[in-house]
Amino acid sequence: MEVRRTVPVKLDADSDDAVLLEDTVDTFLWSAQYVADHAFEGEYVTTSKTTLDDETYDDVREATDGFNGGLVQAARNKAAEACKSVVAKWKQGKKASKPYFTSPHVVYDHRTATFHDDYVSLATTSDRIEADYVLPDENRDTPHAEYLSSDEYETTGAELHYTNGNWMLHIHCKKDVEPDTLDQATTENGTVLGVDLGVNNLAVASTGTFWTGDEFDHWRREYEKRRGDLQECGTRWAHENMQAVGRKEEGRFKMTLHRISNELVAEARDNMCSVIAFEDLTDIRDRTGASWGHKWAFNRLYEYVEYKAAEYGINVEQVDPENTSRRCSHCGFTHPDNRESGSFECQKCDYENHADYNAAKNIGLRYLRRNQTGDDGGAPLGVRLNSGTLNVNGGYEPLASDEARTGVHAESHP
């Protein structure tokens, strides 16, 4: 089996290179969109890569003035996969519409990119360009040292992204392992850290670590009170003062959220998790009765965790939140009566635990199930609990070496 990792590396691109990369991104997205549009013509959506290739390759090459053949095919694969996932959603009775490719990126493989120790050569709409990696000074203990410059891992491809004014290359690496046991495979592949976000506990991890919302609530109440006082004055001066109070309080919220996000990423690293799974945040106010302030905090927390985790090659994902608080993480029985405010008690198997902790486990399990059908040999195999891992069938594997840690929400698994 394979172990896979993705390492984000910033590229040092001069202004000439940047112009070519921008043009390449535009052409790549245009090509993917052309294929998706074509796939949606006619009575059925075409998802076969071969058919789409036959039907669009020459047209795309012609329309793009001979765009690199490997990049045209990568764009076609991207479109085919996006169309496939739309059809899969339809089959589950969910709503989905034709994919639109807007986020600036390009998919590279070994035909279109050459990966060297400290620079990469990339195909563009014109000649190839060479861009240096911007690597951390201290090379120990970084994913760059561990995966990128390691002889054990080979690079398989990369995605070029343009974010916050930077050209980032997310380089995919893999190595082959022959695991003796599932335990070793789990260790090598990493596990999922499930995280539940909520009003009473801002975050709860499947390892049983809780981050309370007390500090956040304190600042929020303070802010609302002072805002109320100032509003009564009603003067222009009071209005400006109110905005200043807002900025100050927002700074405090952000500091708290930075601390929690650092601790969440540390929790994932300590437990060798390769993925941190959150629930989809879109409708979280309807589900949890959270205020706008809370939703703001959840979104910031997610963003902070996402970019901090990327530095360690840990992926951050969102999963479908449906029933994660009503479903029993032990037997799968789903019922509204299972949950009563803070506590969870399964009506079927009598499993009892903290409601948010039960939800965190479900979020991790949902990520595993979603990825079980994929062909990604590097996908995690278990949800990390405080003293072991839970696999997709609900099987529990205790950690051989590690004792259950103190200070966390321990669980003696039935």
Task: Candidates 327, 330, 354, 384: give the one binding Zn ion (CB under 5 A).
Answer: 330
How many residues contact Zn ion, by CB under 5 A? 8
Token pair belonging to 312: 């360690």
As a whole number of angstroms, the distance between CA 123 and CA 20 comes to 10
Provide the minimum distance between the beta carbon of 379 and Zn ion in the complex, in angstroms, as a whole number: 26
Using the minimum distance from each CB to Zn ion, give the nearer residue, 407 or 414.
414
Provide the minimum distance between the beta carbon of 384 and Zn ion in the complex, in angstroms, as a whole number: 21
Point out which span in 8-16, 131-139, 242-250, 323-331 binds Zn ion (CB under 5 A): 323-331
> Binding of Zn ion at residue 326 (CB under 5 A)?
no
388 contacts: CB under 8 Å, gap ≥ 6: 396, 397, 398, 399, 413
Q: What are phi and psi of 286, to 5 degrees?
A: -65, -40
Provide the minimum distance between the beta carbon of 348 and Zn ion in the complex, in angstroms, as a whole number: 5
Point out which span in 77-85, 172-180, 256-264, 333-341 binds Zn ion (CB under 5 A): 333-341
Spatial contact of 322 and 275, defined as CB atoms under 8 Å apart: no
Instruction: Check the CA dihedral 111-115-116-118 and report its sign.
Output: positive
153 contacts: CB under 8 Å, gap ≥ 6: 5, 147, 173, 174, 175
- The strand order across the sheet containing 154-163 reads 105-108, 154-163, 166-176, 2-12, 129-134, 119-122, 113-115
DSSP class of 145: I
Using the minimum distance from each CB to Zn ion, give the nearer residue, 20 or 331.
331
Provide the minimum distance between the beta carbon of 340 and Zn ion in the complex, in angstroms, as a whole number: 15
Provide the minimum distance between the beta carbon of 227 and Zn ion in the complex, in angstroms, as a whole number: 45
Element (H, E) at 398: strand 396-398
Q: Within positions 336 to 375, which residues make up the interface with Zn ion, using CB under 5 A?
A: 346, 348-349, 351
Provide the minimum distance between the beta carbon of 362 and Zn ion in the complex, in angstroms, as a whole number: 11
Using the minimum distance from each CB to Zn ion, give the nearer residue, 216 or 351.
351
Task: Candidates 333, 392, 397, 399: give the one binding Zn ion (CB under 5 A).
Answer: 333
Summarize as ranges the residues that interact with Zn ion (CB under 5 A).
328, 330-331, 333, 346, 348-349, 351
